[in-house]
Every structure is written in structure tokens, then in C-alpha cells.
Amino acid sequence: MPRPPIALGFLLVAALACHDGTGPTPPASPAAAAAAVAAIPAAGHAFRCDQVNASRPYAFLSATGTLDATGRPTRVTIFWGSVPTNVYSRVARGTLFSYPGFPGFRAYNVTGGPALAAANDYYLLLPRVLPGPGGAFAGEIHALYNHGTWGWNQSLQNCVIS
């Protein structure tokens, strides 16, 4: 019987080292991790999200808002560019939305506000576990033009909590 490649042997040894009590603790299931978060340390703090790169300048979206005690975004503004002058959407409270395909995120419908956004839908995706004030995290804004019939953009975001 041929011997397994060295890399496989190394992985097996590394896996055993992690589970013999001397290595790091295996991660909890997503359900257990979500249940363990009783309070959001970022509650009441402002957040800002800016697009990671400007490869699509016509779709350069940013967001600002605050977080409530459950981590739900409130007073959300979605705008084009880095200064909130061209507002696409403004909503008092994001609505939790079932959005398959992004298991590590909670998706919020943040559609609303000015007539400019009347035909478009905007979704803000935030991690299930948020850092405290001063922390950074990755988020996303999804824009569905004319409710998705004219296409959509997925904007990767660098976000911070102040």
C-alpha cells in the first residue's frame, strides 16, 4: 500500500494535536456562537462602511448609521461616494431579511427614503457578531436596480464602529 503524501501526514498530525487537549479549542457551532452573544458591545454606537475599491465608480456605495442593542442598524443612509450628498436610501430601522447564500451575515433591508431610490432595493449585510467601539469589520451593500430587473451590484465594504 503506498504511503500518503507528506502534506496529508502533516495535516493528520496537526489535527490530532488540536484535539488532544493541548491545541486550540475547536470553534463552536454557529448556532452556539450566536446564542452566546447576549448583548452587542457596539449598541448605540455609530458605524460607517465604505466600498473596498472603486473598480466600479458608478456603483461606489457607502453607508452610515447606528446600531441598536440587538445589532440591528438604525438611522441608515446609503449614498454614492464618500460624502453623503447623493443619498440613495434613508431608513429609520433596517428590517431583518432572509437572504440565502451569506451564512455569516445578517441581511437588513434598508430600502427607503428619497424618490431617487423608489425603484431600487438596498440590503446591508453585517456580520452576526460585531466588534465593540473602535472595531472594524467587513460588510456588504447589495443594490438591486428596479427591484433586480435591471441587474444588481454587490459592494464589499470596510466598516468601522465609532
- Residue 74 CB neighbours (<10 A): 15
Q: Are 123 and 109 in contact (CB under 8 A)?
A: yes
Q: How confident is the model at residue 46 (pLDDT cuts 50, 70, 90)?
A: very high
10-18 mean pLDDT: 30
Q: Kindly state the DSSP code that residue 17 receives in the 8-state scheme.
A: H
The CA-CA-CA angle for residues 69, 73, 48, to 5°, reads 115
Distance of CA 148 to the CA centre of its chain: 20
Whether the full predicted model's pTM is greater than 0.75, yes or no, is no
pLDDT at 113 over 90: no
DSSP per-residue string spanning 72-111:
-EEEEEEEESSSTTEEEEEEEEPEEE--TT-TTEEEEE--
Q: Are 48 and 160 in contact (CB under 8 A)?
A: yes
Q: Are 132 and 41 in contact (CB under 8 A)?
A: yes
Q: What is the pLDDT of residues 52-79, one digit of tens each?
A: 876 666 678 899 999 988 888 999 998 8
Q: How confident is the model at residue 116 (pLDDT cuts 50, 70, 90)?
A: low
